[in-house]
Amino acid sequence: MKTRITEMLGIKYPIVCGGMMWLGTAELASAVSNAGGLGIITALTQPTPEDLAKEIKRCREMTDKPFAANLTFTPRPKARPYEEYAQVIADSGLKIVETAGNNPEPFVAIFKKAGMKIIHKCTSVRHGLKAEKLGCDAISMDGFECAGHPGEDDTPNFILLPAAASKLKIPMLASGGVGDGRSLVAALALGAEGVNMGTRFMATKEAPMHDNVKQAILAGDERGTALIVRKFRNTSRVYRNAVANKILEVERQEGSTFEDIYELVRGAGNQNVYQTGNIDGGTWSAGMVMGLINDIPTCKELVERMVAEAEEIIEKRLTGMLRR
């Protein structure tokens, strides 16, 4: 399967495992890359920039295929040393970086000087155009269906992708609601050059988290998520559990502030869930694509099955619909 994304990134299939906090380690990144997709190490999962350098080196020992690093800029009270993490990524020899969160402009020059391709995550057409203007090489467009932060526009991919494709010149990945070959074909038809998956890769054998969490995803459906922190315009789609329901309860209270929910939403909670398997141990990201997840394959099995499904749909079902 050949698209502008596969050509740009040097990968076999247009399938990317986006950066996921606490889960984007060498194990998962190398498994995705070895399967023919693009695996991504999440920089801020590592406690220090020095640890990130070690993790990148470790991943190189596990795959000889392209992989990337993700650097997410967040408005957290205690900011991480982003410049130091960025410099480690630039000095690592990696050819691809995924950026997300706030405006990547302060770091574009660092990555460009290192000859890197920059994929920036966006949730709107206007942000995609801004990233293109800044010099990013590709966009990962996150629709309303996605896990994590879908933005505040609530635009689903069936509208967002073709709207973006009609204006962007650089290639685009579809993110949110992607879980099988049908999703891949749909994304390509809507103007994307590939897909970026998170929740679907969480439910794989190589994902570095407790099996209880994988089983929860397997048992869930498209209704099993909650949108939290909407009141404070930092919306996040998470698995609907006891903690998420408590946050929603507090948000509905007149006069409630972000400080009232801070301890419930802070990042240590999802790390605890992934490590212990306590589904109600904190908030953790999950997308509506849970409704399409029915097994826990290896990354290789998942990627190859998706591509085979997509090719069959294109070659048989869709071709058969054409008038002769």
SS (H, E, C) 2-24: CCHHHHHHCCCCCEEECCCCCCC
Task: Quickly list H helices, 36-169.
Answer: 49-60, 82-91, 105-113, 125-134, 157-165
Which sequence spans correspond to the domains of the chain?
A: 4-209+297-321, 211-288
Q: Whole-prediction pTM value?
A: 0.96
CATH top-level class of 4-209+297-321: alpha beta
Q: What is the pLDDT along the chain (324 residues), one digit of tens a residue?
A: 999 999 999 999 999 999 999 999 999 999 999 999 999 999 999 999 999 999 999 999 999 999 999 999 976 656 789 999 999 999 999 999 999 999 999 999 999 999 999 999 999 999 999 999 999 999 999 999 999 999 999 999 999 999 999 999 999 999 999 999 999 999 999 999 999 999 999 999 999 999 999 999 999 999 999 999 999 999 999 999 999 999 999 999 999 999 999 999 987 778 999 999 999 999 999 999 999 999 999 999 999 999 999 999 999 999 989 876
User: How many CA atoms does the CB half-sphere of 218 hold within 13 Å?
Assistant: 12
Give me the residues paired with residue 70 across strands.
Answer: 42, 98
The whole-number pLDDT of residue 289 equals 98
pLDDT of residue 227: 98
Q: Looking only at Cα atoms, what is the longest distance across the chain?
A: 64
Cα 212 to Cα 225: distance, rounded to the nearest angstrom: 17
